[in-house]
Amino acid sequence: MLSNKSRMLLQSIKIFAGRASDQKLMKIIDKVHPADLGLVLGHLKKSEVIKVFSLIQDNLEYAGEVLKEAELEITVEILEGLDPKVSSKILQEMYSDDAAQILDKFSDELRDAILKEMEETEQRDVEERLDYDDETAGRIMVPDFFALPPDTTVKDTIKSLQKAEDIEVFYYIYVTSEDGQLAGVTSLRQLLLVNPETKLRDIMESEVIVVNANTDQEDVARMVARYNLLAIPVVDDLGRMQGIVTVDDIIDVIKDEATEDMLKMAGAAGAEEYIVSGSIFANVRIRWPWLLASWFGGMFAFYITGHFEDALSKIVLLAGFIPIVMGMGGNIGTQSSILVVRGLATRLIDTNEIWSVVSRELRVALTLGLMYGTLLAIAVLVLLKTGIIVGSSEFIVSEVRLASVVGLGVFSSMMVAAIIGTICPILLDRMRIDPAIATGPLVTTSIDVFGILVYFSIATWLLL
Amino acid sequence: MLSNKSRMLLQSIKIFAGRASDQKLMKIIDKVHPADLGLVLGHLKKSEVIKVFSLIQDNLEYAGEVLKEAELEITVEILEGLDPKVSSKILQEMYSDDAAQILDKFSDELRDAILKEMEETEQRDVEERLDYDDETAGRIMVPDFFALPPDTTVKDTIKSLQKAEDIEVFYYIYVTSEDGQLAGVTSLRQLLLVNPETKLRDIMESEVIVVNANTDQEDVARMVARYNLLAIPVVDDLGRMQGIVTVDDIIDVIKDEATEDMLKMAGAAGAEEYIVSGSIFANVRIRWPWLLASWFGGMFAFYITGHFEDALSKIVLLAGFIPIVMGMGGNIGTQSSILVVRGLATRLIDTNEIWSVVSRELRVALTLGLMYGTLLAIAVLVLLKTGIIVGSSEFIVSEVRLASVVGLGVFSSMMVAAIIGTICPILLDRMRIDPAIATGPLVTTSIDVFGILVYFSIATWLLL
């Protein structure tokens, strides 16, 4: 839900963009924080977006800030519609990591055309970002940081600070040796506490927490979060400082990774960009493969029930319990797998502790399975005894036996589901595959298939 | 997975704690960042935790930092085991928001006993935090911030900064009037850029982004993320500054809320603390209610199939398609609901746009439903024609008709599932209930029940 403030902004923009009252529209935009305007862009019609953007595109810096905060897909769409000369000017105003993220979504031709229009320094910065893999520290870092040699005095440091421009974060002051090696770090506040003639060497903290440029952004986020940093320096393999990743980028990483994990759980991995917009076709393309897994699982379950047709035709009642067997198994399996996946993602569970986690989940499943299996057996017995349900088949089994089989069936399918739900993510994690896919359709489908197999096996074994 | 560094630390601690080599253990601990030690605590046996903690508990500040970074449940367990006098000393060393979060988990008696042992100021700070509701800005803010009157000169500001202690964040300098009203904000860097005689009034930014003390922490996190802040001031209803929420706490909020949402999706809401440890009983207590929903849904599905026993006994084959009807419906419904839930949580979807979201999801479901319904009909037709599956019933229906009915059944259950999956979270959000529960067992269960109802209705209608 948009806040009331954003909703009012959205309404006013819609009204004035519709009436083509450029002046009034401009007045509104003038008062708005670029982040608020960026947020609202995604809720406007295409024609309205174009109108708004035509008004701000001359104020390059403001336009850049708006686009940085807008949804990536909308930003890409807007910039694709502009002249490469204008796009490149706007992108130049952004930090190189944000510009690289956007350019990465363009076609090769358009990207090259835009890069060619950029000024040399900016072009190099962006190209350097693009040289690093997606989702690494090198890609999300900014190359503009404030670093001075160890022999600089505090007085000179403050002078340099006063002259510095275009540096993203000023809270930390990095100390680097001549060859670019990171030697230490100090803070702006520290500068104020000491004699102006003190050298940085004497006040710097020399044990600096750093990441390599190829470190995965998720690991970078984890370090920034663990050590409560405002920025983390990025070094190359030789320990030379390359840039910094700031905490606001880390917040975006944490949010994006959470969304990514949730969509994986839903079997909609890669659909991040289609949450709001995106064509039907793009949506279908992302979602069909996961449903295919489910389709094959369903066909397989059909094949299995085919093998038990004899039991089914003798005791038609058995078919009615397929939903509860699948439902209870599916739910307890999802509980187990999400607890394990989230535990692995937040580093609360270590794969070395596999047995303690599996054994605990099994004991939980045992308790819940006994509870609900017994409850089902009792309920079925009561329904049969009171004649509320009547087996229409000629094949006679005692009511107690039928109730026990159904209860045991649900119990067993819950146990099987908990085992699959717990072990799959752990195995995937060991194989260095993202365990989040284990909570998606693949595991749900296997749980369905195995649950039905176990249920009918028990029924055939004990009833026929 | 723990990093290699953490794993090595864990191994060394385990070895030396086992051998009771206190000196060697102390040597290791001395070199370790408290956050690293805190992380590892959760992976030690209880006896090892006690051993480690006995070594560090005299260094109150270090002990506090370790516990702040450890998992909340472990922190609570350790402090509960200590003398209230020692616990209160350690808690005093923490920021009042962290201390309040821990104390909130204690029994009333223990909390009061510990609070009584605290020094007056710290006690008051913590009690003030506890006065605010859980998960509000007031609860997670720190009351120690740096604020000066508007007429202070930059020179005097720097002097005050040099004297200040125990203030969490120094990057922003807040300007407050005599009655505590927040008048503006400036930054440490700004101080260095101007003449030392300049007054704060003249360099401060007077439009400050603030939150009320009762604002939900999720909204606070959203604002900090949107405006890329390092800290956000918290004011009371009269605009008087009460404290600040810092970006490191915001990162924790974002991570916790993501975990909370995922567990809600799994029907394990509230199980955050049981991911790693927690007794079997505690685990069962959190998880059984969601399974109960699933159990009742299953019983209801059983009741529905009972109504179609006539059709089932004539065409036993129909039972074999229950899994694919449930599986396909469940999966597409989960996709729809997670896309909507995540869109609402990240504010990419606004509830006002309900119709465009619903209509898009329906068109996607229509496409996917037609695809997989047709695929199923063709597959069943081929299997029947080739005699791989044979209907054992005496009741004769044409193969084409049976295949069409099954295909139409899957198609319809997918449509119903997508509608339920899309509309439920939107309705819940409008009713101001967290939509994340809509992706959990409640919705999955309704999708199962309605899917089966639709499937059997179509079968009875077209086949009998």
Task: Render pLDDT for A320-346 as a digit per residue (tens, 0 to 9).
Answer: 999 999 999 999 998 888 888 888 877
For residue B75, which residues of chain A lie inside 8 Å, CB to CB? none
Verify whether the Cβ–Cβ distance B352 to A7 is below 8 Å. yes
CATH number, domain of B163, equals 3.10.580.10
Selected residue of A348, A382, A392 to mutate for chain B interface (largest B Cβ count, 10 A): A348
Q: Which domain holds residue B408?
A: 280-463
- Angstrom CA distances, A95 to A123, A182, A409, stand at 11, 22, 59
Verify whether the Cβ–Cβ distance A271 to B339 is below 8 Å. yes
Same-domain check for residues A121 and A152? no
The region of weakest confidence among A192-201, A418-427, B231-240, B337-346 is B337-346
How many domains are contained in chain B? 3
In a domain, B348, yes or no: yes
pLDDT value, residue A142: 87
| End residue of a domain, out of A108, A135, A162 | A135
In a domain, B347, yes or no: yes
> How far is B420 from chain A, CA to nearest CA, in Å?
15
* Lookup: tokens for A462: 């004990």
Nearest to A157 by CA among A100, A197, A115, A107: A197
pLDDT value, residue B1: 46
For residue B248, which residues of chain A lie inside 8 Å, CB to CB? 225, 228, 247
The region of weakest confidence among A315-324, A421-430, A433-442, B455-464 is A433-442
In a domain, B323, yes or no: yes
pLDDT value, residue B450: 95
Contacts of A402 (CB under 8 A, 6+ apart): A315, A317, A380, A384, A391, A463
Residue A1 pLDDT level (bands cut at 50, 70, 90): very low
For residue A306, which residues of chain B lie inside 8 Å, CB to CB? 320, 389
Same-domain check for residues A110 and A154? no
Interface check A454 vs B, CB under 8 A: no
- Angstrom CA distances, A283 to A280, A425, B355, B367, B419, stand at 5, 26, 17, 10, 16
Q: Identify the three-state secondary structure at position B6.
A: helix
Task: Measure the CA–CA gap between B95 and B145, rounded to whole angstroms.
Answer: 12
Same-domain check for residues B86 and B159? no
Selected residue of B11, B198, B226 to mutate for chain A interface (largest A Cβ count, 10 A): B226
| End residue of a domain, out of B136, B160, B182 | B136
Interface check B5 vs A, CB under 8 A: no
Of A114-128, A203-217, B22-36, the range with the highest mean pLDDT is A203-217
Verify whether the Cβ–Cβ distance A350 to B320 is below 8 Å. no
> How far is B130 from chain A, CA to nearest CA, in Å?
24
DSSP character at residue B44: S
Selected residue of B73, B262, B318, B452 to mutate for chain A interface (largest A Cβ count, 10 A): B262
Interface check B1 vs A, CB under 8 A: yes
The region of weakest confidence among A194-203, A428-437, B201-210 is A428-437
> How far is A197 from chain B, CA to nearest CA, in Å?
16
Q: Give the torsion through C-alpha atoms of A59, A65, A68, A71, to 10 deg.
A: -80
For residue B299, which residues of chain A lie inside 8 Å, CB to CB? 324, 376, 379
Same-domain check for residues A227 and A334? no
Residues of chain B short of pLDDT 50, as ranges, are 1
DSSP character at residue A289: H
Q: What is the pLDDT of residues A218-247, one digit of tens each?
A: 899 989 988 889 899 999 999 999 999 999
Contacts of B213 (CB under 8 A, 6+ apart): B132, B136, B137, B138, B141, B234, B235, B236, B242, B243
> How far is B22 from chain A, CA to nearest CA, in Å?
25
Q: Is A429 exposed, middle or buried (0-12, 13-18, 19+ CB in 10 A)?
A: buried
Verify whether the Cβ–Cβ distance B247 to A251 is below 8 Å. yes
Interface check B26 vs A, CB under 8 A: no
Q: Which of A320, A343, A371 sits opposite B306 (nearest CB)?
A: A320
Verify whether the Cβ–Cβ distance A324 to B299 is below 8 Å. yes
Tell me the mean pLDDT in the region A6-29.
82
Helices B247-265/A247-265 angle, 10° precision: 0
Same-domain check for residues A243 and A291? no
In a domain, A260, yes or no: no
pLDDT value, residue B279: 76
Interface check A423 vs B, CB under 8 A: no
Give the DSSP per-residue string, A410-461: HHHHHHHHHHHHHHHHHHHHHTTS-GGGGGSHHHHHHHHHHHHHHHHHHHHH
Q: Which of B230, B252, B268 sits opposite A338 (nearest CB)?
A: B268
CATH number, domain of B396, equals 1.10.357.20
Interface check B171 vs A, CB under 8 A: yes
Verify whether the Cβ–Cβ distance B368 to A287 is below 8 Å. yes
Selected residue of B159, B294, B344 to mutate for chain A interface (largest A Cβ count, 10 A): B294
Contacts of B243 (CB under 8 A, 6+ apart): B138, B141, B142, B143, B144, B145, B213, B233, B234
Q: Are B242 and B234 in contact (CB under 8 A)?
A: yes
CB < 8 Å from A in window 181-220 of B: 187-189, 192-193, 219
Terminal-residue alpha carbon distance, chain B: 57
pLDDT value, residue A287: 86
CB < 8 Å from B in window 324-353 of A: 324-328, 330-332, 334-335, 337-339, 341-344, 346-353
Q: Which of A189, A251, A429 sits opposite B188 (nearest CB)?
A: A189
Q: Identify the three-state secondary structure at position B240.
A: strand
For residue A371, which residues of chain B lie inside 8 Å, CB to CB? 284, 288
Q: CA-nearest residue of chain B to A292?
A: B372
- Angstrom CA distances, A405 to A194, A364, A378, A412, A452, stand at 79, 22, 11, 10, 13
Q: Are A419 and A446 in contact (CB under 8 A)?
A: no
Count, residues in chain B? 464
Radius of gyration from C-alpha coordinates of chain B: 30
Residue A140 forms beta bridges with which residues?
Answer: none
| End residue of a domain, out of A135, A164, A185 | A135
pLDDT value, residue B352: 67
Task: Measure the CA–CA gap between A249 and B302, rounded to whole angstroms.
Answer: 51
CB < 8 Å from A in window 290-319 of B: 290-292, 294-295, 297-299, 301-302, 305-306, 309, 312-313, 316-317, 319
* Lookup: tokens for B348: 């990419």
Interface check A274 vs B, CB under 8 A: yes
Selected residue of B331, B390, B444, B447 to mutate for chain A interface (largest A Cβ count, 10 A): B331
In a domain, A172, yes or no: yes
In a domain, B273, yes or no: no
CATH number, domain of A112, equals 1.25.60.10
In a domain, B78, yes or no: yes
Same-domain check for residues B237 and B351? no
Interface check B450 vs A, CB under 8 A: no
Same-domain check for residues B49 and B173? no
Contacts of B393 (CB under 8 A, 6+ apart): A313, B313, B314, B315, B316, B317
Same-domain check for residues A34 and A90? yes
Interface check B393 vs A, CB under 8 A: yes
Interface check B368 vs A, CB under 8 A: yes
pLDDT value, residue B322: 93
> How far is A421 from chain B, CA to nearest CA, in Å?
12
More confident residue, B275 or A10: A10
Q: What is the pLDDT of residues B343-383, one digit of tens each?
A: 887 766 766 677 888 888 899 999 999 999 999 999 999 98
Q: Which of B189, B275, B351 sits opposite A1 (nearest CB)?
A: B351
pLDDT value, residue B307: 87
Selected residue of B45, B338, B453 to mutate for chain A interface (largest A Cβ count, 10 A): B338
pLDDT value, residue A10: 83
In a domain, A326, yes or no: yes
Tokens 């904000």 found at = B185
Selected residue of B207, B295, B372, B442 to mutate for chain A interface (largest A Cβ count, 10 A): B295
Q: CA-nearest residue of chain B to A221?
A: B251
Interface check B258 vs A, CB under 8 A: yes
Verify whether the Cβ–Cβ distance A439 to B306 is below 8 Å. no
Same-domain check for residues A168 and A120? no
Same-domain check for residues B40 and B167? no
Task: Measure the CA–CA gap between B33 and B65, rounded to whole angstroms.
Answer: 9
pLDDT value, residue B70: 83
Same-domain check for residues B197 and B298? no
Same-domain check for residues B295 and B242? no
> How far is A155 from chain B, CA to nearest CA, in Å?
11
ipTM above 0.85, yes or no: no
